[in-house]
Structure 1
Amino acid sequence: MSNLLRFPVLYCTIKTTDGKTLELENNLRPGSDLLFTFDINFNMDATPPESDASFINTSQNMRNYLKAKNQIAFFISYEAFGKMLIGSGKIKSVDPIQYDGVTTTVPITFSAGQDFSNISAKSIQKEKTKKVGHYKRVKVNVKGKTVKRRIHYYSDEDGKRVGHYKEGHVHIAGKTKIKRTRYTVKKKFYSNLSFKKGVKPSVAIKKIAKESGIKISSTKLAENKPFKKGYTVSGKPLDAINKLVKRCKSKMFYDRDQLKIDDLKESKKTHIILDYSSGLLSEPSYSDDSDSGEELYESSSYLLPQISVHSTYEVRGDFIKKTLVAQSGTYSFDGTQPTMTVDGAVAK
């Protein structure tokens, strides 16, 4: 079958924000012009992977399409399989034109899916007000007044000075004094989203996603046990959802450009067997994931977009025969044969 994977046709489609579309075709037959190259990444993270592409000897018309926020997609067509999507996303940045004296190159970066990681915690909090007491010191003018007061006076009696008292009126002058006064103001505060005892995590995830605007294309949870003591959300909404997903022994990741939650019980079956007659380029190498402790095998082969995140495939090298589930990888095209490198965990 490997002969049917030679000389594929690569396509790039760019769609502007106002609906205009440009399609580029890279025909790998000898003598054809090279229009673009790429490294398109995928993984099982909760944030969309970033990928790179470069456009060769671009015209001004083509550069008009290479703008941030425009949608971009790459496809490959083999004689064996027909036209298939490799990856798509939104252009994030466009670098200045590079020139080496012969060739001009325009590098871009694009993201496969909408990034929800920057949505603030306030998006799922309720704004409330409460009265808060404060004190301040103010000057108060006290008016003068005449008051009745017992007056002490002296008189001489038989040559002696004797003190006496009498009732009289005394005027007290006005003055300014400092007085401590209490007052109240309305102060805003934000209340965290909370759920009562007995609510299931699936309900909480749906509520958080709706309140924050996070779009989740599908949800499958391995566990969905109700909260025993209620649950209060904290932090950014994407982080809060991810905590609940992990609590339910599941995984949140991007599949192409769609955010999904999966119980990992069933992977996507591709029926792809990678051996030296079907595109495998070298003997798979072993490594282990220090975080999960899983056995991983890195495979290099011709580019087969059927193998993507969380898809099952079989590797048959000279010394290794394993059924694997794709965890991460990169689809690459440098102007020659399109290839891919995939890290797969042993299927359970």
Structure 2
Amino acid sequence: MSGVDGQTFFGKKIEVILPNLPNKPSFNNWSPRGYGFNITGTINFNDAGDVEKNTITINNLSPDHQKLFKEKEHIVVKAGSDDLFAVVSEGKITKVHKLVDEGATKTLNIEFSDDTDYGDKKKISVWSGAKTVKKRVKKPNGKYTIVKKTVRKKINLSFKKGTKASTIVKKISKMAGIPISNVQFTHDYVYKKGYTVSSKPLDAIKAIVKQCKAHIYFRKGKLYIDNWDKPNPYNENLTISKLTGLVGHPSFDDDDRISFQMYLDPRISTGSVVRLVDKAVGIDDLYRIKSGSHDLESMITNVEVYK
């Protein structure tokens, strides 16, 4: 793949890793050791606080390798060129589709979420409570036995008057097992009448973040709370131009958002700050990335930004 003004981006590298399995099996599209698989898919990202659902496709896995891909297994996807190759997403597998067998080509489609276990509906939140009770159960032979059973009990998590939003978020994070990589509030709201958490952990955090006029989003499998104040939160120093991979010209919509395409760069994700330069349309400024997607087949990244 080559840039418009002469810079060339060599290689189309994709790798899928299952890091929690013995020997951390990996599958790539370039080396005999990685079996040289054809790997495609789309990796999405957004700043709406929603967990993205991604799908990758791997062709001609052996039966033993197919069995490695199971629901809830942790998965890491890396992509890029020879010079820019890194993680674009990681999370847990949510669905493994039935193998599509077309004779010469056998295709396995794998869905995964760009997070850990934050959205697990089966998890009992710490403030809904639980208690263990004993129950008398009749066995097939007619005799009775005593078994223990966990019963949900609704208990709200409450905070006293004058508690700050950041304190509540960090407490929920710790109690519910939801790690947050960064917590930055410009307006750390103070709840003068106290605060009671009665919703699911992640929903509660989202509501508090919204009240503090901050942003919550997933970025490569991790959760961030960002106030947009830091000019360069990830120390990436990214300039997007014709010389560094910009494809075509940016487009504008009615909400003053700008969309553009570029050659796939794994550093690009939600919250990244980029300097977008296209003299032909009068752009040379810093922008924050709102949403986008990495296409693993065309190796193109689609991006939406705003100031």
Q: TM-score, normalised by structure 2?
A: 0.79
Task: Confirm or deny: 8 A CA contact 2:80 2:264 kept in the other structure.
Answer: no
* Secondary structure of 2:243's aligned partner: coil
Structure 2 unpaired stretches of 5+: 132-151
What RMSD, in angstroms, separates the aligned Cα atoms of the two structures? Answer: 2.8
Task: Confirm or deny: 8 A CA contact 1:73 1:89 kept in the other structure.
Answer: yes
Deviation >6 Å, runs of 4+: none
| Residue equivalent to 2:200 | 236
| Residue equivalent to 2:38 | 35
Query: 1:345 and 2:296 equivalent?
Result: no
CA distance in 2, matches of 1:232, 1:56: 50
Amino acid at match of 1:42: F
Task: Find 2:292's aligned residue among 323, 326, 329.
Answer: 329
Q: As a proportion of its length, which structure holds more strand?
A: 1
Structure 1 unpaired stretches of 5+: 129-187, 290-294
* Superposition map of 1:167-178 within 5 A: none
| Residue equivalent to 1:222 | 186
* Secondary structure of 2:213's aligned partner: coil
* Secondary structure of 2:180's aligned partner: coil
| Residue equivalent to 1:210 | 174
Task: Confirm or deny: 8 A CA contact 1:47 1:254 kept in the other structure.
Answer: yes
| Residue equivalent to 1:20 | 23
* Superposition map of 1:58-73 within 5 A: 58-73=61-76
Query: 1:300 and 2:303 equivalent?
Result: no
Deviation at 1:18, TM superposition (A): 4.0
| Residue equivalent to 1:165 | none
Deviation at 1:89, TM superposition (A): 1.9
Task: Find 1:248's aligned residue among 202, 212, 220.
Answer: 212
| Residue equivalent to 2:141 | none
| Residue equivalent to 1:87 | 89
CA 1:301/1:105 → structure 2, altered by over 3 Å: closer, same or farther?
same
CA distance in 1, matches of 2:89, 2:242: 25
| Residue equivalent to 1:160 | none
CA 1:20/1:230 → structure 2, altered by over 3 Å: closer, same or farther?
same
Deviation at 1:304, TM superposition (A): 0.8
Amino acid at match of 1:273: T
Task: Confirm or deny: 8 A CA contact 2:215 2:227 kept in the other structure.
Answer: yes
| Residue equivalent to 2:281 | 319
| Residue equivalent to 1:109 | 111
* Secondary structure of 1:273's aligned partner: strand
Task: Find 1:11's aligned residue among 7, 14, 25.
Answer: 14
CA distance in 2, matches of 1:232, 1:310: 30
| Residue equivalent to 2:100 | 98
Task: Confirm or deny: 8 A CA contact 2:7 2:244 kept in the other structure.
Answer: no
Query: 1:275 and 2:241 equivalent?
Result: yes
CA distance in 1, matches of 2:185, 2:290: 19
Task: Confirm or deny: 8 A CA contact 1:119 1:212 kept in the other structure.
Answer: no
Cα distance per residue 1:11-47 (max 9 Å; x no partner)? 323226543322223239xxx9652112011111323
Greater alpha carbon shift after TM alignment, 108-117 vs 95-104? 95-104
CA 1:245/1:123 → structure 2, altered by over 3 Å: closer, same or farther?
same
Cα distance per residue 1:242-267 (max 9 Å; x no partner)? 11111112111112111111212114
Amino acid at match of 1:325: R
Bigger RCO of structures 1 and 2 (CA < 8 A, at least 6 apart): 2
Task: Confirm or deny: 8 A CA contact 1:57 1:103 kept in the other structure.
Answer: yes
| Residue equivalent to 1:144 | none
CA distance in 1, matches of 2:155, 2:26: 49
> How many residues in Structure 1 have an aligned counterpart in Structure 2?
276
Between Structure 1 and Structure 2, whose CA radius of gyration is higher?
A: 1
